[in-house]
Amino acid sequence: MKPETSADARQLIAATGLEARQAIRAGLWSGHTSGTAPHYVQGNVVILPEALANDFLRFCQRNPKPCPLLAVSEPGDPSLPRLGADLDIRTDVPLYRVWRHGELVEEVSDIRDLWRDDLVSFVIGCSFSFEQPLMDAGIPLRHVEQGRNVAMYRTNIQTVPAGPFSGPVVVSMRPMTPANAIRAVQVTARVPAVHGAPLHLGDPRLIGIADLDKPDFGDAVDILPGDMPVYWACGVTPQAVVMHARPEFCITHAPGAMLVTDLLNSELAF
Amino acid sequence: MKPETSADARQLIAATGLEARQAIRAGLWSGHTSGTAPHYVQGNVVILPEALANDFLRFCQRNPKPCPLLAVSEPGDPSLPRLGADLDIRTDVPLYRVWRHGELVEEVSDIRDLWRDDLVSFVIGCSFSFEQPLMDAGIPLRHVEQGRNVAMYRTNIQTVPAGPFSGPVVVSMRPMTPANAIRAVQVTARVPAVHGAPLHLGDPRLIGIADLDKPDFGDAVDILPGDMPVYWACGVTPQAVVMHARPEFCITHAPGAMLVTDLLNSELAF
């Protein structure tokens, strides 16, 4: 595994998506991409054999809030020209996870050795793309202020199944004042390609979350007096669904180590 | 006072703003305009002497959420051509309230006898214009289901003063599921000319409302299990502010008996 690079250093190296991918491809870092090229769209990555790709494509189409699909490759083709002319999905993600029959077998920073002619790459929008517009709108994000990963929870909201893919929607939760929650609905509704408007506001029990202090993924966050929890569909949903389907072979990005694209966040907003 | 006409009869008579005004001018009804010409914008009316009009105009400019100004007349001119070519503010409101030094002195269906050369008319957007889009979006409105007036409350949110005009923002409250609250933010954010996005969600105490069962205006509404209260700035705010300023002379519409215009609700949405 390559050495970690600080967020400040990553911003210095990589102001654009292209610069970020060049640095990652050159082996300059293999860690989180939070704060990297902050105006550029980052994506969740799922790479599946063609035999499962049609089912997964239908799954994404049926569940656009947790699985907003930014691009799908041709089978065996490692390029994704819509997301970056030079983009090679085999080298441009900082850290990959390799899965066999639903079990994590290794983490690697390059998958050229593992590439197959039947692999199809899916890139799915990520909440990093709406956190920047939220902060630009003057809405403080508690987990950022508190230096933590966002809190994520399995809900009792079921995805619409397709083939072997099914399971609950995972949400990320950001506490904020009610006035900011209203602004946040407005800001994120304008970016349906990165999860869009929230799924839920307020009482966690109404969507099957028993205890906000015990997230299923990420870190618990301190909720300030008067804050209201706001819940968005989360890009962890497709990963959880894929792991549950136990495909014979699958590659994903490692948590937080996203694909950085050439799309501007602002291009996604209507 | 003219006889009341049922909502069904009003819809039959008046599908458009023009038809509504013609029926009102002809003396066919003097009551509520709820459900009348439902696709047309209705407005709150405040008529003030010119000496106060500039302060009130500045007040509206500073408080666009409770006081979204649709039109202002020239002093002494009873027409408002932007809202309807034929419109005469002296005859086209179903029922007027006449105020002297802040006291209600009479209710009349025509103010031609009271007209003065220095009177300026203000027409302010009204939540009727966003209730129709909310219902069109499939969001049930509890007070409509329960056959009641909407519940309105004085808050601890202060308007920005101008001249003699000041006081708290009055909100209308509509309970709905959290998922519908999110949709309602999206729908109403698109119509800033009729109060726009909500001011608050959830806990009433955070905006100084002690008891939702005791509204300051309108009727209490039954909140269903799982419902979240959603609060919008209300057109009662400018009336309360004007009454508090005790102008020597003022005319307003009677509650619910609004000015029906030729603007389509859909024209106000971006």
Predicted pLDDT of residue A11: 56
Contact yes or no for B230/B94 (Cβ under 8 A): no
pLDDT (mean) for B169-187: 96
- Whether the per-residue pLDDT at B268 is higher than 90: the answer is no
Token readout for B217 is: 């205006």
pLDDT digits (tens, 9 = 90+) for B108-131: 999 999 999 999 999 999 888 888
Q: Which residues of A touch B188 (CB under 8 A)?
A: none
Cα A108 to Cα A97: distance, rounded to the nearest angstrom: 7
Q: For the whole prediction, is pTM greater than 0.90? A: no
Cβ-defined contact of A203 to B226 (cutoff 8 Å):
yes
- Whether the per-residue pLDDT at B72 is higher than 80: the answer is yes
- Whether the per-residue pLDDT at A6 is higher than 70: the answer is no
A269 contacts chain B (CB < 8 A): no
pLDDT (mean) for B191-197: 87
A144 contacts chain B (CB < 8 A): no
Predicted pLDDT of residue B11: 56
Which residue out of A157, A185, A187, A206 would a mutagenesis test of the B interface target, given it has the greatest number of B Cβ atoms within 10 Å? A185
Contact yes or no for B69/B116 (Cβ under 8 A): no
Predicted pLDDT of residue A2: 41
Predicted pLDDT of residue A74: 92
Residue B11: C-alpha distances to residues A260, B19, B126 (Å): 56, 10, 19
A178 contacts chain B (CB < 8 A): yes
How near does any CA of chain B get to the CA of A118, in Å? 40
pLDDT category, A30, cuts 50, 70, 90?
confident
Predicted pLDDT of residue A3: 43
Cβ-defined contact of B178 to A203 (cutoff 8 Å):
yes
Predicted pLDDT of residue A1: 37
If one counts every other C-beta atom within 10 angstroms of the C-beta of residue B212, the result is 16
B181 contacts chain A (CB < 8 A): yes
Cβ neighbourhood burial of B154 (10 Å; 0-12, 13-18, 19+):
buried
| Mean pLDDT over the full length of chain A | 91
pLDDT (mean) for B1-28: 73
Architecture of domain B128-237: 2-Layer Sandwich (3.30)
ipTM reported for the complex, 2 dp:
0.73
B228 contacts chain A (CB < 8 A): yes
Predicted pLDDT of residue B35: 77
pLDDT (mean) for A189-199: 89
How near does any CA of chain A get to the CA of B202, in Å? 7
Which residue out of A201, A205, A270 would a mutagenesis test of the B interface target, given it has the greatest number of B Cβ atoms within 10 Å? A201
Predicted pLDDT of residue B193: 84
Predicted pLDDT of residue B29: 79
Instruction: Kindly report, as residue ranges, where domains of CATH 3.40.1640.10 are found in chain A.
Output: 7-126+239-268
Predicted pLDDT of residue A29: 79
Cα A14 to Cα A22: distance, rounded to the nearest angstrom: 9
If you search the block for the tokens 């390029």, which residue do you land on?
A: A79
Report phi then psi at A114, rounded to 5.
-95, -5
pLDDT (mean) for B178-190: 95
Q: Out of B179, B199, B206, whose CB is closest to A226?
A: B206
A219 contacts chain B (CB < 8 A): no
Q: Out of B186, B203, B226, whose CB is closest to A185?
A: B186
Token readout for A7 is: 């967020």
Cβ-defined contact of B198 to A186 (cutoff 8 Å):
no
Closest-approach residue (CA) in chain A for B229: A202
Predicted pLDDT of residue B265: 87
Domain range A7-126+239-268, its CATH number among 3.40.1640.10, 3.40.50.11540, 3.40.50.300, 1.20.1250.20: 3.40.1640.10
Predicted pLDDT of residue A222: 95
pLDDT (mean) for A182-192: 92
B226 contacts chain A (CB < 8 A): yes
How near does any CA of chain B get to the CA of A127, in Å? 18
A229 contacts chain B (CB < 8 A): no
- Whether the per-residue pLDDT at A109 is higher than 70: the answer is yes
3-class SS string, chain B: CCCCCCHHHHHHHCCCHHHHHHHHHCCCCCCCCCCCCCCEEEEEEEEEEHHHHHHHHHHHHHCCCCCCEEEECCCCCCECCCCCCCCECCCCCCCEEEEECCEEEEEECCCHHHCCCCEEEEEEECCHHHHHHHHHCCCCCHHHHCCCCCEEEEEEEECCCECCECCEEEEEEEEECHHHHHHHHHHHHCCHHHCCCCCEECCHHHHCCCCCCCCCECCCCCCCCCCEEEEEECCHHHHHHHHHHCCCCEEEECCCCCEEEEEEHHHHCC
Contact yes or no for A228/A202 (Cβ under 8 A): yes
The percent of residues above 90 in pLDDT, for chain A, comes to 73
Predicted pLDDT of residue B25: 92
B182 contacts chain A (CB < 8 A): yes
CA proximity to B186, closest of B238, B123, B136: B136
pLDDT category, B142, cuts 50, 70, 90?
very high
pLDDT (mean) for A18-41: 87
pLDDT (mean) for A60-81: 93
Predicted pLDDT of residue B6: 58
Report phi then psi at A173, rounded to 5.
-125, 130
Report phi then psi at B197, rounded to 5.
-65, 160
pLDDT (mean) for A33-48: 90
Predicted pLDDT of residue A255: 84
| Mean pLDDT over the full length of chain B | 91
Predicted pLDDT of residue B148: 86
Cβ-defined contact of A201 to B228 (cutoff 8 Å):
yes
Residue A34 C-alpha from the chain's centroid: 11
Cβ-defined contact of B200 to A182 (cutoff 8 Å):
yes
B203 contacts chain A (CB < 8 A): yes
pLDDT (mean) for A179-207: 93
B186 contacts chain A (CB < 8 A): yes
pLDDT (mean) for B78-86: 95
- Whether the per-residue pLDDT at A256 is higher than 90: the answer is no
pLDDT digits (tens, 9 = 90+) for A203-248: 999 999 999 999 999 899 999 999 999 999 999 899 999 999 999 9
How near does any CA of chain B get to the CA of A220, in Å? 22
